[in-house]
Amino acid sequence: MAQTLARTDDTSVTTGTTRPPSGEAAAAGSRRWWRRPWIAPLFVISTGYIAFTALPYLDSRTAPLMPHDGFPLYYPALIAHIAFATVALLTSILQVWPWLRRRHPAAHRWGGRLYVLTTVVAGVLGLVIVPFAPPVGRLGVAIATTLWVAFSVMGFVRIRQRRYADHRRLMLYAFAMVMNNLVGTTIMLVIGMLRIQVDPNVFLEAARWVGWVGNLLAVQWWLNRTAGRPVR
């Protein structure tokens, strides 16, 4: 007779056999994908944001480029930055999808590698072109980009060290940073729609800080709220 060695939430592991999950557990697993209803809307909104902000730069003759005298590689570097940042943004949404992470861990691992690679390239290119950004808000952009790359790389290092809790925390910080522009732009659009009178310099400076600072605060609140949950 096979002796039961261990039991998990939905399986019993025995010597030589594994019992399939019960009907209740299987039903719960089949419902799990829609328990994260924010994934699909966020992906759609992010795609729309990318189209709205990136498409004007595809034609160098009409693109709203900043002055870049003495740096002929500015436009190629900008386009490459936009392309790699686009991949990083869309990949990051899939990386924080619990259903994909649990059901398809290999896809999560390879997606994570793609995310880190595109983040590093986009971040380095962003730091190369940030000196040509408008002075108002330039510091906020530089700090946000540096933190984005740092959180992502350290998150990758921690998962290689099998420090799963640290990996989760750092990658959530990185997710906060990669969503910086989307959230910041949305907030600024809302302020504009409400016709709130704000000094233009204050408005532009705030646009470079509100998104990522607010995102990091929200992520830290979430981490504190879920501190007792086991990290699988």
In a domain, 179, yes or no: yes
Kindly state the tokens that stand for 155. Answer: 């998150």
Would you call 89 helix, strand, or coil by DSSP? Answer: helix
pLDDT, tens digit (0-9, with 9 covering 90-100), for 30-57: 445 555 677 888 888 888 888 888 888 8
Q: Where would I find the beta strands (DSSP E) of the chain?
A: 4-7, 12-14, 17-19
Question: Looking at the whole model, is its pTM more than 0.85?
Answer: no
Average pLDDT, the chain: 82
Crossing angle for the helix pair 210-225 and 138-160, nearest 10 degrees? 30
Domain limits at 86? 36-225
CA 148 vs. chain centroid, Å, equals 9
pLDDT of 68 reads 85
In a domain, 11, yes or no: no
In a domain, 121, yes or no: yes
Q: Total structural domains in the chain?
A: 1
Least Cα distance to 169 among 80, 105, 229 occurs for 229
Do 182 and 49 form a contact (C-beta atoms < 8 A)? yes
Do 151 and 120 form a contact (C-beta atoms < 8 A)? no
pLDDT of 231 reads 59
In a domain, 3, yes or no: no
In a domain, 118, yes or no: yes
In a domain, 43, yes or no: yes
User: Which DSSP state fits 37?
Assistant: T
Residue type, 49: Y
Would you place residue 87 in the very low, low, confident or very high pLDDT band (cuts 50, 70, 90)? very high
Do 149 and 175 form a contact (C-beta atoms < 8 A)? no
- Tell whether the model's pLDDT for residue 167 goes beyond 70: yes
User: Cα(159)–Cα(180) distance, rounded to whole angstroms?
Assistant: 24
In a domain, 195, yes or no: yes
In a domain, 93, yes or no: yes
